[in-house]
Amino acid sequence: MTHTGSMRIPGIKRLYTFMLQTFLPLFMMTFFITLFIVMMQFVWSHLDDMVGKGLGIDLLSELFFYAALVFVPMALPLAILLASLMTFGNLGEHVELTAMKSSGISLLRVMSPLVVFIAMIAIGAFFFQNDVLPKAQVKMWTLLFSMRQKTPTLDIPEGTVYNQIPGYNLYVGRKDHADKESGKIYDIVIYGMDGSMNHPRVVAADSGRISMTEDKLHLVLQLYHGNWYEEVKGGGPVNGSTEMFRRESFQNKTILIPYDATFTRMNDDAMRSQYVGKNITELLATIDSVQARVDSVGDIVSTEMRAEPIAGMPSVRTERHDSTIVQVVQRPMAISVPTDIDSLFGSLPEGARQAMLTSALANLEMRRQNYQFRSYVTDDDKLTIRRHNIELQRKFTLSLACLIFFFIGAPLGAIIRKGGLGTPIVISVILFIIYYMIDNSGYKLARDARWPVWQGVWLSSAVLLPLGIFLTKKSIDDSAVFNIDAYRNFFARLFGKHQTRQIALKEVVVEEVDTQEALSRLASLRETVRAYLERYKRRQSYREYWLAGYDKPQLQALSRQIDDTVDYLANSREQLVLNKAMDIPIIRQLFLYRPGCGITWLGWAGVVLFPVGLPCYLLGTRLQKNLKRELSTTLDVCDQMSDILTGKTSNDISIEAPAGEISDEELTDEE
């Protein structure tokens, strides 16, 4: 025994090494592929913030580096899902997984080294979320916002109005392409604003040059042979008009336009104070401080409301105890004689009543605005708490998502047994889209306070965890989850499909058919069929259908008796007997014969849920009618078979319905 155990350990170690060597390259490949895909989506969505601003390759590389770190939580679960699908799909496709199971190694034993590896990744993902991701998010968003504020690079097109210079619209007819370094441009029109739309200026020139100052803070326009049109502010009435205009013709004019083309990096302190830039300790500290502020506002409001006078009488009194001022709540004063407030109000003069109502409305409006303003402040604080709480719990969801996606991908690959990049990619993308939609929906429900934060954040994990457990159990039990024939048979049992018997003449017969035994079997079968048809002469009512239905155990016994009789007659050497035996229908065991399954509460549920149960009732009674027609055909064939066995010719076979058979008129009456 000791020798056997020592021989098995190296084999298991080689299996573990083999699984790791198979999984790791696929995991690294899929991780970088998925990270590249999400990075391309990020670049596409922020393309306008980066293109056309003269940003250096160093700034773009820095942005992409931080963005790659930020998108690791999105790419990591998808990479684990895809890699595990491909790994176990390849093993199943090349029959390696079957060989392992036949050697007595369970699927969990095969998965165990990868489970340990994924658990280590999950632990590393937690520390990455807590320590690395906040800093990366701060750097990325700060750099991206700085790029958004960067002035676009001066690239004036030909024949188009260029509006990227603040306060100016510039039109250039054509450029000097022969000497691009000179910056010579022709047919220039400049439309500028002097602080408002009411006083524009228009400058037109035949040609000019455009350049930047050395500090890159101003744009220099050297214009030749042009005119200056400007509407001047102020000015007294001239010829009945209060506006003044100025026109100037020039041969050479220089215009200096403020244009900051430098890149200024924003300070990341503001972004670091947001929830995206904090670790667990900082998030908890912020939640506690903001929650204390919300509670203090609530205490202040409640104290003020308790201190409000009631019907003009103060509800608190101020007392001094040892140089300390204390407010004591007074007991409400009891009114010995009931007072009719309406009569007192009605006894006042009209002016006094109007003044009292106006004062009361003004007081209420002032209080409403005060409390509404405080509610706005507390709403912002509650949103801050929810955002920080969401970010806090998301530190843990990534680690669990890695484990869940592994326990979905590995069993699923073992079940479908398809490797490569085709089927695994399709399944992975579908599952990840479902996960992303559920996770995003839960995030929005938690952010908008429609759900508690923990429900929204953990919604995706709660949905996919049962799927992982289900697939793992099915793969361990070697269940045919994706076997199409199993689902086809299920729907065939549910809705029914006619089947025909196929009986061929046997070359070698072990048990010869005895005529008396065959007639006895046919007679017994006729009696059983007649008894079953006699029991269900008429169509069942809706209530009877759901609470009773057809007797399935008796029908199963009848079906077995028919099959035994046919199997016995199949040993006949007469082709006519075999042909007639094939005319006996195959009795199907359909679910809709008895939908209640003998369960009382299920039957009553079908009765109560009338709109849902009615289509089932109509289809089920139709199938019951077909069953009775099949049993009636069985009686006909049994009688004809008896006549054949007794030696009667086919002309002597009666075509009348046997006694006890349901006639066509009765079947028509059931409609």
d(CA 315, CA 178): 90
Q: How confident is the model at residue 275 (pLDDT cuts 50, 70, 90)?
A: confident
Q: Sheet harboring 244-258: ordered strands across?
A: 161-162, 168-175, 184-193, 200-212, 218-232, 244-258
Instruction: Say whether pLDDT at 248 is over 90.
Output: no
Mean pLDDT, residues 415-429 taken together: 77
Burial letters 202-237, b for 16+ CB under 10 A, else e? ebbbebbebeeeeeeebbebbbbebebebeeeeeee
Q: How confident is the model at residue 599 (pLDDT cuts 50, 70, 90)?
A: confident
CA distance readout (Å), 321 to 105, 247, 316, 354, 404: 82, 84, 16, 43, 65
pLDDT digits (tens, 9 = 90+) for 142-177: 888 877 766 555 667 788 887 777 778 888 888 877
Among candidate residues 246, 265, 183, 263, the one with its CA nearest the CA of residue 219? 183
Mean pLDDT, residues 94-113 taken together: 83
pLDDT digits (tens, 9 = 90+) for 535-563: 888 888 888 888 888 888 888 898 889 88
Q: How confident is the model at residue 208 (pLDDT cuts 50, 70, 90)?
A: confident
The pLDDT, as a whole number, for residue 331 is 61
Q: How confident is the model at residue 497 (pLDDT cuts 50, 70, 90)?
A: low
Q: Token digits for 94? A: 């090349």
pLDDT over 70, % of the chain: 78
Instruction: Say whether pLDDT at 671 is over 80.
Output: no
Q: How confident is the model at residue 659 (pLDDT cuts 50, 70, 90)?
A: very low
Is 170 within 8 Å of 160 (Cβ atoms)?
no
Among candidate residues 345, 461, 449, 325, the one with its CA nearest the CA of residue 396? 461
The answer to which of 5-9, 88-92, 227-231, 284-288 has the lowest mean pLDDT is 5-9
- Identify which has the larger pLDDT, 137 or 491: 137
d(CA 462, CA 456): 10
The answer to which of 199-203, 272-276, 310-314, 553-557 has the lowest mean pLDDT is 310-314
Residues whose CB is less than 8 angstroms from the CB of residue 310 and which lie 6 or more positions away in sequence, other chains included: 332
Instruction: Say whether pLDDT at 480 is over 50.
Output: yes
Indicate yes or no: pTM above 0.85: no
Count, residues in the chain: 671
- Identify which has the larger pLDDT, 364 or 445: 445
Mean pLDDT, residues 361-381 taken together: 80
pLDDT digits (tens, 9 = 90+) for 249-266: 888 888 887 766 666 677
Mean pLDDT, residues 646-666 taken together: 48
The answer to which of 29-33, 48-52, 339-343, 592-596 has the lowest mean pLDDT is 48-52
Instruction: Say whether pLDDT at 374 is over 50.
Output: yes
The answer to which of 78-87, 123-132, 500-509 has the lowest mean pLDDT is 500-509
Burial class of residue 537, CB neighbours in 10 A (0-12, 13-18, 19+): exposed
Mean pLDDT, residues 55-84 taken together: 89
Instruction: Compute the mean pLDDT over every residue in the chain, rounded to the nearest whole number.
Output: 79
The pLDDT, as a whole number, for residue 448 is 87
H-state helical runs in 548-609 = 552-569, 575-581, 600-608
Among candidate residues 198, 201, 199, the one with its CA nearest the CA of residue 168? 201
The pLDDT, as a whole number, for residue 240 is 46
Instruction: Say whether pLDDT at 457 is over 60.
Output: yes
Q: How confident is the model at residue 9 (pLDDT cuts 50, 70, 90)?
A: very low
The pLDDT, as a whole number, for residue 486 is 61
Mean pLDDT, residues 441-457 taken together: 89
Instruction: Say whether pLDDT at 5 is over 50.
Output: no
- Identify which has the larger pLDDT, 131 or 241: 131
Q: What is the bridge-based pairing of β-strands 316-321 and 324-329?
A: antiparallel
Residue 138: Cβ within 10 Å count: 21
Is 287 within 8 Å of 392 (Cβ atoms)?
yes
